[in-house]
Amino acid sequence: MQNLWSLTRRLVVDLGRATPALAERVQPPSLLLRLEGTSPVFARLHRPFAAQVLIALGLGIALGLVARQMRPVADGTPNWLTSTLQTIGSTFVALLRVIVVPLIVTAIIVSVANLNQVSNAARLAGQTLLRFAITALIAVSIGIGLGLLTQPGRNSSVDAAAAAVPQTTGSWWDFLLGLVPASFLGLQTSADADQVCFSDDYDAADDEIAQALLEHVER
């Protein structure tokens, strides 16, 4: 808790929204500090992030194995545990998609802003690409290995013909052109992670506004 408030004061100073003297006035609530030092709940929650990830991973694997053993109910309907895990997983993935664009945009802005402090930008760019390629290779290897080991779709009721990979059309040049949107407000939501879109909501709101204006004029 003390580290969190220290980081908050540092961010206030870095953003230039307050002077260091004013930032020093931002003190953590004493009640929370007392709870952190005395409450067993705070003591149990105060674990490293890596440990929390491993605990959550183990819990997810255990619940997944239990859901597999429970079998579907009548007519192939998933059991309650499978449905709950699917809902939680879909919600988590949706939340990840929401923060992808702000995360990438802020990362690019910070990186470009810090380029003036780098003496050898070309070397840094090469090291960044190399590390990105290595981490991507490790992530893909882990995903393929776990998929072959656990076979998550073995007991699935999905039809193999319906889940077959559709025939692809177009060329690599068309793919590269598709990454560039025609307009900022015209982005379309799709399965591609490279295009993040909100134009459907914008178009719907635009249609509602136009309809309201038309009704007002007709009156």
Does some domain include residue 192? Answer: yes
Query: For the residues of 103-160, what is the DSSP string, one character each?
Result: HHHHHHHHHHHTGGG-S-HHHHHHHHHHHHHHHHHHHHHHHHHHHHHH-TTTT----T
Of the residues 154, 171, 202, the one at which a domain ends: 154
What are the C-alpha distances in Å from 35 to residues 5, 29, 49? 15, 10, 20
Q: Tens-of-pLDDT digits for all 219 residues of the chain?
A: 445 555 555 554 454 444 445 444 544 444 444 444 555 555 556 678 888 889 988 998 898 888 888 877 777 778 888 888 889 989 988 998 888 888 888 888 887 777 777 677 778 778 888 999 999 999 999 999 988 988 877 766 666 666 666 666 677 787 777 767 666 554 444 445 454 444 444 444 444 444 554 454 445
Does some domain include residue 200? Answer: yes
Does some domain include residue 146? Answer: yes
Does some domain include residue 208? Answer: yes
Query: What is the reported pLDDT for 96?
Result: 87
Distance of CA 19 to the CA centre of its chain: 34
Rounded distance between C-alpha atoms, residue 205 and residue 49, angstroms: 41
**What are 35-47's pLDDT values in tens digits?**
445 555 555 566 7
Q: Which long-range contacts (CB under 8 A, 24 or more apart) does 39-43 make?
A: 42/1
Does some domain include residue 18? Answer: no
Does some domain include residue 204? Answer: yes
Does some domain include residue 166? Answer: no
Query: What is the reported pLDDT for 83?
Result: 86
Number of H helices, E strands in the chain: 9, 0
Query: What is the reported pLDDT for 10?
Result: 58
Q: Count how many domains the chain has.
A: 2
Other CB atoms within 10 A of residue 10 CB: 12
Query: What is the reported pLDDT for 166?
Result: 66
The residue segments making up the domain with residue 128 are 124-154
Of the residues 136, 154, 172, the one at which a domain ends: 154
Does some domain include residue 75? Answer: no
Closest CA to 135 of 125, 143, 124: 143
Write down the pTM of the prediction: 0.42
Query: What is the reported pLDDT for 200?
Result: 44
Closest CA to 183 of 194, 199, 203: 199
Of the residues 108, 137, 154, the one at which a domain ends: 154
The token pair at 190 is: 């799709």
Given a contact cutoff of 8 angstroms between Cβ atoms, the answer to whether 83 and 91 are in contact is no
